[in-house]
A and B are shown apart, each in its own frame.
Chain A
Amino acid sequence: TAGITQAPTSQILAAGRSMTLRCTQDMRHNAMYWYRQDLGLGLRLIHYSNTAGTTGKGEVPDGYSVSRANTDDFPLTLASAVPSQTSVYFCASSGEGEAAEAFFGQGTRLTVV
């Protein structure tokens, strides 16, 4: 079972360039999330989607955009990367209900130089 797959695993990106981080899940979960994780800080929510066709802003949405054309895919785009976007990015999905656990992809380590 694949679960959640992210690509690429790591990337070095020049400042000002754009990039799309890919995320695909095969669990048919309605809810999907993008987080960034920085040293000394907790996971911070960038954007989320409760179901295909809808998206919402999280705690730190500036500089990022998402789309949810179907249930399985939830790409995250950086339109014009800046060094402060250097981070580890995790995509996650969860099923229905308050107690639903989140399943995470393996992460994308992005360095903006």
Chain B
Amino acid sequence: GQNIDQPTEMTATEGAIVQINCTYQTSGFNGLFWYQQHAGEAPTFLSYNVLDGLEEKGRFSSFLSRSKGYSYLLLKELQMKDSASYLCAVPDSNYQLIWGAGTKLIIKP
């Protein structure tokens, strides 16, 4: 079966760096997605990784290790607007996304 684990909540300081981890177990592998969801809003796409390594996109980077079933989202130069939940998702064998419960990131001044 599929299983995705993320920390429930993390706290970081404005201007700092934070790493949000995601571990997954899948019968096959078709990539891994990260989404951002502000409170009361819809999720929005951040990144997609299908190959091992780090993909950088501005202040946000996403890393994947397929052999370890592990990914992380790295947020640099944290801003207050980065306070949100970060959702990790992987497609199942039918390409339907299986979602982690999300990590709520709290940014403090």
Contacts and interface: CB of A to CB of B under 8 A. Distances in A.
A93 B45 CA distance: 12
- Most-contacted residue by chain B among A42, A98, A105 (CB, 10 A): A42
Interface string A96-109: 00110111111100
Interface string A70-113: 00000000000000000000100000001101111111000000
A61 interface: no
Contact of B33 (A33, A35, A101): A101
Nearest to B88: A42
B54 interface: no
Given A42-B101, A42-B102, A43-B87, A101 B95 contact: no
B43 A104 contact: yes
How many B residues are at the interface, by size bracket?
Answer: 20 to 34
A58 B101 CA distance: 17
B62 to A, nearest CB: 13
Interface string B71-109: 000000000000000010101001111111110000000
Can you list the 8 inter-chain pairs with the closest CB atoms, starting with the nearest? A42-B99, A104-B42, A101-B45, A43-B99, A42-B101, A99-B48, A42-B100, A98-B30
25 contacts: A40-B101, A41-B101, A42-B99, A42-B102, A43-B43, A43-B87, A43-B89, A43-B97, A43-B99, A45-B96, A56-B94, A90-B42, A90-B43, A98-B30, A98-B31, A98-B50, A98-B91, A98-B95, A99-B31, A99-B50, A101-B45, A101-B48, A102-B97, A104-B44, A107-B42
Interface of A: 33, 35, 40-45, 48, 56, 58, 90, 98-99, 101-107
